[in-house]
Amino acid sequence: MNDRLKILKNIAILISGTGSNMEAIINDTLSNDHPGIVKFVLSNRSDALGLLKAKELGIKTFVFPVNRTNSLENFEKKLLKLLTNKKIDLLCLAGFMKVLSKKFLVNFKGNVLNIHPSILPSLKGLNTHKRILKKKSITHGATVHKVIPELDSGKILGQTTIKIRKGDTPDKLAKKLIKKEHYLYIKVIRNIMTGKNKIIQID
């Protein structure tokens, strides 16, 4: 085990809520063939349910609040210091509801990934399940992409799709999509950590 730990790449995860994708990532890294290890989970909210899940899985957790007395700028300074100290190679956003600044992204030397619930470049931003139903589309999905200063605009690394059925609601779409999100995210993480450039496509 010690020999394996020496060659693993370090992962950190940012969350703001339940940590569903976070949990999938952590569980996947616990397999013996995984090229990475999750060093910590960090949230901007102390009440994020994902923090409890991470602790149960044996992962170190941190909370750096963002509120009236703690600015996003201060959050990013503390985060950058922690990422440097822990020698993080890959930062994964998993339901993290803050937009990282250009200054932070320039200063962090590792890769930053995000999973977005739409088939990018369509439907950037929030409330994608509701918005896709308004468009009367027959297809929905999720995208894992690199994070750049422009919102939801970084290089696409993988996508998955689902069919929209009659009677679907935003909640039903979210429930149908979430397991495919999990599978897509963990596949992309393995891909990027082993230096592969192939875009993952899951139908």
User: Could you tell me the two tokens for 161?
Assistant: 């799709």
DSSP 185: H
Q: What is the pLDDT of residue 5?
A: 47
Is 116 one of the catalytic residues?
Answer: yes
Question: Domain boundaries in the chain?
Answer: 1-109, 115-145+154-198
Catalytic residue among 116, 140, 145, 182: 116
Cα torsion angle, 153, 20, 119, 127, sign: negative
Q: Name residues whose C-beta falls within 8 Å of residue 151's C-beta, 6 or more positions apart in sequence.
A: 99, 124, 125
Cα torsion angle, 33, 92, 154, 119, sign: positive
Place of tokens 């990475």: 36
Cα torsion angle, 143, 145, 147, 148, sign: negative
CA 36 remoteness from chain centre? 15
Q: What is the pLDDT of residue 203?
A: 87
What three-state secondary structure class fits 143?
strand
Domains 1-109 and 115-145+154-198 share a fold: yes
Q: How many C-beta atoms lie closer than 10 Å to residue 163's C-beta?
A: 11
Place of tokens 């957790």: 61
Q: Using CA atoms, how far apart are residues 96 and 39, in angstroms rounded to an integer?
A: 17
Asked if residues 181 and 117 have their Cβ atoms less than 8 Å apart, the reply is yes
Q: What is the pTM of this model?
A: 0.94
In terms of Cα–Cα distance, which of 80, 53, 52, 85 is closest to 64? 80
pLDDT tens by residue, the chain, 203 residues: 444 445 789 999 999 999 999 999 999 999 989 999 999 999 999 999 999 999 999 999 999 999 989 999 999 999 999 999 999 999 999 999 999 999 999 999 999 999 999 999 999 999 999 999 999 999 999 999 999 999 999 999 999 999 999 999 999 999 999 999 999 999 999 999 999 989 999 98
Q: What is the pLDDT of residue 1?
A: 43
User: Could you tell me the two tokens for 117?
Assistant: 């619930």
The domain 115-145+154-198 belongs to what CATH superfamily? Formyl transferase, N-terminal domain (3.40.50.170)
Q: Which CATH architecture has domain 1-109?
A: 3-Layer(aba) Sandwich (3.40)
